[in-house]
Each structure stands twice: as C-alpha cells, then as structure tokens.
C-alpha cells in the first residue's frame, strides 16, 4: 500500500493553542514533536477567540484583591460544581504564570494606564483610578461569572495574537507541523497507544505516524449542531478516533455550552467582551431585561444563565421578529466610537461586513448559538487519557475537567496554555520513561482497515447515501432537540432519530471519484463517527435527570447533588451497537469547595445529603 | 428581485491524471446576505461534491479563504454576492502551490517564509516564573497589535508583481512582520541583524512600491507605511554596513 511513515516522540493531533503549548514543553525537554492539523496551524479555531483569557493578576483597579483562590471559586461555581476541583485548582494557580510566560514570548497584552479611567457597567458610566505602581502591567476586563475583572486581552484579537505567539515559538524550536493532515484512526494494541493513521488532505494519500506519546488536542465538536459559532473544522475528529478504540471514554458529552451573543443569521460570535465592557441586552421594546431576571449580575451572569433567560424572554413574546426567527438586541452604542473601534474592533468590522450594521449607531441582532464543548476525551489531572497508555489530551477536546457543566468566558483560552503547560510537563516526564517497541504489524493492520474503508466509500460498496444530507439531518436534530432547554420526550425522540441516521451513515457512498484532496471523502470518513458522538451527547442528556449548568431539563429543573454530582463516561465498546455504554464517576475526588449556591441563576438544589424519596 | 448568479470556477485536480485545467459553470439563485462562503458550500453540497475550496472561521479572521474574485484577491467568506455582478469568476491565488480547484497551499509558504525571516522574539533571557511581568506602555502594545493583525491570507502576496515574478520574494506580509519585531523591545535583534533578513532583493529592495498589496489587504494593515519605514531603515543600515569593518560572520557578505 502506498504510504509514508513518520516516527516521533510526541505526536500532537491538533495544532491549536493546546497542541502547540504541549509541544513546546516536550520540545524544550529535548524531544521531537510533530503536530498534525486540518488547516495551517495559525488557522486553527483558537485564532478566532476574541475577548481574552482569565488569570488572577489583580493589576487593574477593578481586579484589585483578586487571587487564584477567588479565580478557583468562580470556576467551581461557574461549573455548577460539575468540575474536577483538583484540576480547577492547578488551573487557577498556574494561570498567572502562563500569561506572563506568553508575554515573555512576545504576546502584546494590553496594559494598565495609570490615572482616572472611564468604564461602563450595565449601561451606566463610572470612573476608576488606575494605580501608578501598576502602570504598564497586564490589565484585564470583565467577563461573565467573575468576582473581579480578570480577563487579560489584546484588544479583541486575543486568540489570534496568542496563537501567533505560540506558533512563532514552535517555529523557533524547530517543531514540525504537518498541516492539512487528518488523523483518521489511532494505532494501539489494547493497552498502549502508538500513533495514528492519517490522510494527507492535499494529496489524499494515507500516512502512518508512530509515536511514543500521542496527544489529542483537536478542539470542540460544535459542528454537531446546525447553529454554532465554531469554525467549520470543529467536527470532533479527535473524539471520534479516541471513542472508536472502544477503550477511551467520552466524558460529559452532554455538557454543551450555548453563547448568548451569536449574531443572527450567521451565528458569527460577538465577544462576551461586549457585555464585559458594559454592553446591554435589549428586547423588542428596546428595554433591558437581564437586570430583572438577575438583579446582581444582570448581563454578566454566566453564559448558561444568560442564554436561558434570553430564550425565556423570547418565549414571553419579547423577541424581535425577523425572517430568521425571533432574536434580541445587543447594545454597545453607549461605549462610544473610540472604544468600539479600538477595544472592540473585530466586533466593529464583523458587524459592518457581515450584517451591514454599524454598532456605533445601531443595535446588533443576537441569539444564543452553540459555542463550546465542555465534554471530551476523559483524562486524569496529568492529561493522560483513561483506557490507553501513552494517549493524552488537552484543550477543548479534553475532559480534563475544570469546566464541569459550564465554562466561564475567558477560561478556555486560559485552559489551552495553562493545561497545555501542565500536561506538557507530564508528557515530557512520560517520554523520559518511555520504552516503546512499535509493533509495525499493528500499523499495517490499521492502515489496511482505513484503506479498505476508503475503497468501499469510493466504490459505493455499502450503499449510496448522501453524506451531506446525513450531516444536515444530524445537525438539525441536535439543534431542535438537544439544545438549550431539554426534556425527556425530546431527548428520546432525538436518540431514536439519530439511531436511524446512524444506520444511513454506515451506508454512505461517494458521488465523486474521491481522488486527491477530495472533500466529500474527508467528510464521509468521519460522518459515522460524528453521528456516534451526537448519540453520546443526546443519550447522555437523556439519562441525566437533573439540571446543572448548561444542561437544563424542563422536566427536572433542580440541580440534584444527591444523585448527579458525577460525570458521565460514554464508552462505545460494541462497534455493532448503536448506543454507547454509560458509566459514571464522582465529579471530583477532592472537594475544596462543597456544593452550594452560585450566586446567580436561581435554581432549586437537591443537596448531597437529602434523603431519597420513595 | 432575486438574481440568478452564474459562477465560473477554475477546476483542476493535480492528483487526478484525467484532470485538465478548465472552467466549470454553476448557477445559483441569490438569497439575502449571501456570501461566497455560503454559495460555494451550496454548490458543493447540491451540485458538485468534488469541488475543492478552503474555509475555516467563515468570519474573516483565519485567512483560509483567499481567492481571486472577479480578478481581484480577497476573502471569499467576507464577500457578499450583492457586491458583485451576476457573473462571478473565481480562481485560486497565484504564487502558492495549487492543491486543487480554488484551494492553494498557503500553509507551507507562510511557514517557510516565517522561518526564513525568523519571525519570533529573539531574546536570551530565561523566563522567570516567580517574577512579575516586564512593563510595557499600553500604546506600544496597541501599536504592535495593529501590525500583528495580519492573518496570513496571502492576498498581498498574490497581488504583488514582484512575488509573481520571483519565487523567493518574501512579500509585504513579511516586511510588516519584521516591522512588528523592530517595534518590540522584547526582540533584541539589532538593525544589522534585521538587515540580514530583509535588506536584500528578496526583501525590501525587491519591492516596486506599487501599492497593490495594501489595496487588497482585507485587514487594512498599513503595509505601505511599514514598507517605507523599513526601506529607509534598511537603506541606512546598508550604508552603515559599507563603511563598517567587516567583523562578524553574519555580516561578512557585505
Ligand atoms: C468565536 C469564538 C470566540 C472565542 N472567544 C474566546 C475567548 O474570548 N476566551 C476564551 O477563553 N475562549 C474563547 N473561545 C473558545 C476558545 O477559542 C477555544 O476553546 C480554544 O481556542 C480551543 O483551543 P484548542 O487548542 O483546544 O483547539 P483548536 O484551536 O480548535 O485547535 C484544534 C486543532 O486540531 C486540529 N484537528 C482537528 N481534528 C483533527 C484531526 N482529525 N486530525 C488532525 N488535526 C485535527 C485542527 O486543525 C486544529 O489545529 C472562543 C471560541 C469561539 C468559537
Ligand atoms: S498583510 Fe494583509 S493581505 Fe497580506 S497576508 Fe496579512 S492580512 Fe493578508
Ligand atoms: S508595494 Fe511592494 S510588496 Fe506591495 S505589491 Fe507592490 S511590489 Fe509587492
Ligand atoms: S474562512 Fe476564515 S478568513 Fe475566510
């Protein structure tokens, strides 16, 4: 079989912020690393992040008194106590270091300017005095769910600048990036992971990568939904190859976040920085409403809470009618031209180019859209995946699990470099002790299996189902029935429909010839896997009979700490089956902060020690 | 009111021995706020699943979708069909290697060029995890960001006469990048070290100054200003090098 083989110490599947940050650590420890990416590394989804990342530096006036302890508490509350507190602790403690380190590598963070400064909150202006002794240190803005201003930023191009900074670092270290190469299956012997089979997206040829350690850093699975802020490449590729081993669980698949401000109709995101900087949400009467539902935090409650109230408010008849359905308004006009054209410059450009709206004088039409995948490849606190030695995961693709059931804005970019740093050190330790004999016959088998899959798709050996029709059908079910508000009947219907779609996904046949960089083949290869992921999400949600963070069940509105203070682990052990096997584990082994009230988002709580009814 | 759009799209699949470069025509009814991103995806999903093109962010932020749109390089995701006549001709960007149809290999080109110009902070100091960060003026951070906004879409390179003629010309993008590092106090390279990288015909002196690059830059980066400043700096440095005793290995060439 015509193919190329590559050997390396660390194979990173994914070259976004998380993959690159892990690779830097391995390279700095003297190991070689190869990164794979569907697109040039700098085009990874990470580049689209605008608003910023959280680290408790406490430099700006409104951040005074901040500390990793406060950051930790905000993160645990944000997660609705669904997170692993050990990881949240490591995260909050390391974030300031990782942010400063990025500055050392060239990140142009915005800085504190001493003197009086004007800010906006909830539509009103106020003044704060920035201290002289803090002048020139890294500053921060407000984001939802945080007690202090903690979100470090570069205007609203934070992801872009950070990704370029890390990619420069990678280039200087001589790390290899193989872009337009897609991992399509993992090579393993049931105990150890040894790399992957990949397809060269420029030529269509297959490749084998043999590695002592393999990292999955492939980002989220937002494209399971029709309306998402995510890049078109966020299709869950890494989750698919991990789940397909039958050994590695998909942690908390049902934990899917919706962001309050996707623009209508394109679902392009306008950053939470808009609300952080004082933007407000208005209804059809151009009146504020979040301050009524959430008097304390208003627009700056956590995303799950704000998204729900928005949908609720629309359901009360307060939405703005449009050909694309009802929406609400985001108002940033009062922030003024200077602020909008500098600190919110991407927003300014996006609104004008994609909506024909000038946000200095006009309102922005917004509605919640799928945004972030809290669930992912389940790992321990070292980033080591459950089920296979030598397999790691970091970033949005992982369920390292500092986000639990709701991620706070600004905590994901931070996770990529904080967890990336931490996991990178652990990967380097693993590599130091690694004695690996590559079993080439395993690679040959895996390669042959993938070559056969391709050959059958091209020949239409299993059927002639249209891959695009299947994708549309799956995305629509997810949007309609596994969205912001969930209930038992809808979820049952979703699982049933997805199982039917899955049967079709196993009968895809190509319409085109599949030669070279053929895009139809690329999608056809992952489509059954995508439907498997969708089934995990829907089925996980169906079984979780409570509401926690972004998982809001109309029929089970209470957060039930007595029965559900745990994490779903979905295994696809039986490849003939069309449902995963669900297991559960406690959401955290160490409990620094016992479950309590979040301080926003009025929800009923069934406490841990509540007696069982019946 | 609705228009029928006619798309003339360049087709060639270099991996397919039966493929010859040609143009295919597709028609599509225009809908409100239709972008080329939506249009191309519709064509692929409904008319020809083999059509190769690139998008990622679909919000003008990642640089994937540069192509020649009615004769001019631009981002397809950011282009509304309402801005175009009913006949729309799409070609891949020149200069870069063709992957297939409208898709070109910008990744390899940019990585090689970034390696060549050593696009990273050069600094001997180790990072001290215990120390607070070095201070910086906010205005300077903003000024660096202004140049850092380049998304490596390749439009400036595609529009550039020099880049189309000499394959080793680093392009306006790279000169902008170098300007960004010159501005950054964390980068300890000297002018003569920058001169090493861009003070030649592959760099500033290859530029004919015809402004095409700035015209097409979707990020509206002030490329001309940077080229001008750099050209003066490098010309001055070139003179200095002429009269300097030629000591270091790196400078011997001059
Ligand atoms: C519009 C937007 C704005 C955001 N703003 C913020 C913000 O302000 N603050 C914040 O904290 N978070 C923000 N986020 C979230 C944050 O950007 C992401 O969670 C984070 O960047 C994910 O980084 P990552 O490295 O894990 O993955 P990504 O950056 O998604 O990288 C994934 C990588 O994996 C590769 N890949 C995928 N599948 C395969 C495969 N099968 N084979 C090979 N390679 C593969 C891709 O090519 C890519 O290189 C935002 C997200 C969006 C959508
Ligand atoms: S300078 Fe402008 S045109 Fe050139 S690559 Fe960067 S963003 Fe594109
Ligand atoms: S001004 Fe220089 S870099 Fe820009 S297009 Fe002309 S020759 Fe190329
Ligand atoms: S798709 Fe990202 S710039 Fe067009």
Q: Which residue ranges of chain A lie beneath pLDDT 70?
A: 1, 613-614
Q: What pLDDT does residue A440 have?
A: 86
**Which ipTM was obtained for this model?**
0.93
By the 10 Å C-beta count (0-12 exposed, 13-18 middle, 19+ buried), A220 is classed as buried
pLDDT at B253: 33
CA A355 to centroid of chain Cα atoms = 26
| pLDDT score recorded for residue A478 | 96
Give CA–CA dist A550/A483, Å, rounded.
Answer: 9
CA–CA min distance B16, chain A (Å): 6
Quick: pLDDT tens for A454-475.
Answer: 999 999 999 999 999 999 999 9
DSSP-derived pairing of the beta strands A206-216 and A391-393: parallel
pLDDT band for position B252 (cuts 50, 70, 90): very low
Q: Quick check: CB of A183 below 6 Å from ligand 1?
A: yes
At residue B228, the pLDDT reads 78
Average pLDDT over residues B35-52: 96
CA distance A509 to A520: 10
Model pLDDT, residue B227: 78
pLDDT score recorded for residue B247: 42
Model pLDDT, residue B248: 43
The answer to whether the CB of B106 is under 6 A from ligand 3 is no
Q: How far apart are CA A330 and CA A286, in angstroms?
A: 10
Q: Ligand nearest B206 Cα, by number?
A: 3
Mean pLDDT, residues B197-214 taken together: 81
Determine the 3-state secondary structure of B124 from DSSP. coil
Question: From the CA of B241, how many Å to the nearest CA of chain A?
Answer: 27
- Nearest-CA residue for ligand 3 atom 2 is B207
Mean pLDDT of B140-164: 94
Residue A535 has a pLDDT of 98
Are A205 and A3 in contact, with CB atoms under 8 Å apart?
A: yes
Q: Is the CB of B76 under 6 A from ligand 3?
A: no
Chain A, nearest residue to B133 by Cα: A100
Q: What is the pLDDT of residues B206-241, one digit of tens each?
A: 887 777 899 999 999 988 887 778 777 777 777 676
Length of chain A: 614
Full DSSP string of A272-319? THHHHTT-EEE-TTS-B-HHHH-TTTGGGS-HHHHHHHHHHHIIIIIS
Among protein residues, the one whose CA lies closest to atom 1 of ligand 2:
B173
Reference B196, options B237, B148, B152, B168; nearest CA is B237
Partner residues linked to A365 by β-bridges: A329
Q: Give the closest residue to A415 by CA, choosing from A274, A219, A173.
A: A219
Contact B217, B155 (CB under 8 A): yes
Residues A148 and A69: beta-carbon distance below 8 Å:
no
Chain A neighbors of B141, CB-CB under 8 A: 108-111, 154
Q: Give the CA count within 13 Å in the CB-facing half-sphere of A57.
A: 32
Residues of chain A with Cβ-Cβ distance to B102 below 8 Å are none
Measure B129 CA to ligand 3 centroid, in angstroms.
42
What positions of A carry a catalytic annotation?
A: 259, 275
What is the pLDDT at residue B249?
Answer: 38
Pocket of ligand 2 (CB under 6 A): B 150-156, 172-173, 176, 217-219, 221, 223
């Amino acid at each position: 079989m015509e193919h190329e083989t590559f050997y390396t110490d660390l194979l990173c599947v994914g070259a976004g912020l998380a993959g690159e940050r892990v690779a830097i650590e391995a390279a700095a420890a003297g190991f070689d690393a190869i990164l794979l990416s569907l697109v040039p590394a700098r085009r990874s989804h990470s580049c689209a992040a605008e608003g910023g990342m959280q680290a408790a530096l406490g430099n700006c006036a409104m951040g005074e008194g901040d500390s990793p302890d406060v950051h930790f508490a905000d993160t645990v509350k944000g997660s609705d106590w669904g997170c692993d507190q050990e990881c949240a602790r490591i995260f909050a403690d390391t974030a300031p270091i990782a942010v400063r380190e990025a500055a050392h590598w060239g990140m142009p963070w915005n800085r504190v300017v001493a003197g009086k400064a004007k800010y906006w909150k909830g539509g009103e202006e106020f003044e704060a005095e920035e201290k002289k002794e803090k002048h020139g240190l890294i500053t921060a803005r407000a984001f939802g769910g945080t007690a202090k201003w903690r979100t470090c930023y570069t205007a609203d191009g934070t992801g872009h600048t950070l990704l370029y900074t890390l990619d420069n670092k990678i280039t200087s270290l001589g790390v290899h990036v193989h872009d337009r190469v897609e991992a399509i299956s993992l090579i393993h012997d049931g105990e150890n992971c040894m790399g992957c089979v990949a397809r060269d997206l420029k030529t269509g040829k297959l490749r084998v990568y043999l590695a002592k350690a393999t990292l999955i850093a492939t980002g989220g699975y937002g494209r399971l939904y029709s309306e998402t802020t995510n890049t078109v490449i966020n299709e869950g590729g890494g989750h698919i190859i991990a789940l397909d081993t039958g050994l590695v669980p998909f942690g908390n698949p049902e934990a899917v976040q919706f962001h309050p401000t996707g623009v209508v109709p394109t679902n392009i995101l306008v950053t939470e920085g808009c609300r952080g900087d004082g933007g407000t949400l208005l209804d059809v009467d151009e009146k504020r409403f979040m301050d009524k539902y959430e008097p304390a935090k208003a627009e700056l409650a956590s995303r799950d809470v704000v998204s729900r109230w928005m949908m609720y408010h629309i359901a009360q008849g307060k939405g703005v009618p449009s050909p694309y359905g009802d929406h609400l308004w985001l108002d940033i006009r009062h922030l003024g031209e200077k602020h909008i054209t500098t600190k919110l410059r991407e927003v300014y450009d996006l609104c004008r180019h994609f909506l024909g709206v000038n946000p200095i004088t006009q309102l922005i039409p917004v509605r919640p859209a799928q945004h972030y995948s809290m669930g992912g490849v389940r790992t321990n606190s070292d980033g080591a995946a459950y089920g296979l030695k030598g397999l790691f995961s970091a970033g949005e693709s992982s369920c390292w699990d500092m986000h639990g059931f709701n991620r706070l804005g600004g905590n994901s970019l931070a996770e990529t470099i904080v967890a990336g740093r931490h996991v990178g050190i652990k990967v380097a330790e693993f590599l130091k002790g690694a004695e690996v004999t590559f079993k080439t016959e395993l690679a040959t088998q895996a390669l042959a299996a993938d070559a056969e899959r391709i050959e059958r798709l091209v020949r239409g050996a299993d059927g002639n189902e249209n891959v695009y029709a299947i994708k549309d059908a799956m995305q629509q079910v997810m949007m309609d029935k596994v969205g912001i508000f969930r209930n038992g009947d809808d979820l049952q219907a979703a699982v049933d429909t997805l199982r039917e779609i899955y049967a079709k996904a196993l009968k895809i046949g190509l319409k085109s010839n599949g030669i070279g960089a053929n895009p139809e083949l690329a999608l056809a290869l992952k489509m059954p896997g995508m439907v498997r992921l969708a089934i995990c999400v829907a089925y996980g949600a169906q079984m979780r009979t409570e509401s926690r963070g972004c998982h809001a069940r109309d029929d089970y509105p209470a957060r039930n700490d007595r029965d559900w203070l745990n994490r779903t682990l979905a295994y696809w052990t039986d490849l003939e089956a069309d449902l995963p096997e669900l297991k559960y584990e406690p959401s955290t082994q160490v409990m620094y902060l016992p479950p309590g009230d979040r301080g926003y988002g009025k929800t009923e709580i069934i406490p841990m020690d509540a007696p069982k009814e019946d | 009111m609705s228009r029928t759009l006619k798309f003339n799209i360049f087709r060639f699949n270099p991996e397919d021995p039966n493929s010859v470069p040609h143009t295919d025509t597709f028609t599509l009814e225009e809908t409100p706020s239709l972008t080329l991103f939506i249009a191309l995806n519709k064509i692929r999903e409904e008319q020809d699943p083999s059509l190769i093109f690139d998008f990622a962010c679909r919000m003008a932020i990642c640089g994937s979708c540069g192509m020649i749109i009615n004769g001019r390089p631009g981002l397809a995701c950011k282009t509304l069909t309402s801005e175009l006549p009913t006949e729309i001709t799409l070609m891949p960007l020149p200069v870069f290697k063709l992957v297939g149809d409208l898709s070109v290999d910008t990744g390899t080109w940019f990585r090689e060029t970034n390696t060549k110009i050593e696009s990273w902070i050069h600094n001997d100091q180790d990072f001290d995890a215990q120390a607070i960060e070095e201070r910086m003026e906010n205005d300077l951070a903003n000024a660096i960001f202004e140049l850092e906004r380049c998304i490596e879409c390749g439009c400036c390179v595609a529009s550039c006469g020099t880049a189309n003629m000499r394959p080793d010309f680093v392009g306006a993008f790279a000169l902008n990048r170098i300007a960004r590092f010159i501005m950054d106090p964390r980068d300890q390279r000297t002018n003569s070290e920058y001169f090493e990288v861009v003070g030649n015909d592959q760099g500033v002196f290859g530029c004919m100054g015809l402004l095409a690059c700035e015209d097409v830059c979707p990020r509206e980066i002030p490329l001309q200003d940077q080229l001008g400043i750099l050209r003066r700096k490098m010309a001055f440095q070139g003179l200095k090098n002429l009269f300097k005793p030629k000591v270091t290995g790196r400078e011997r060439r001059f």
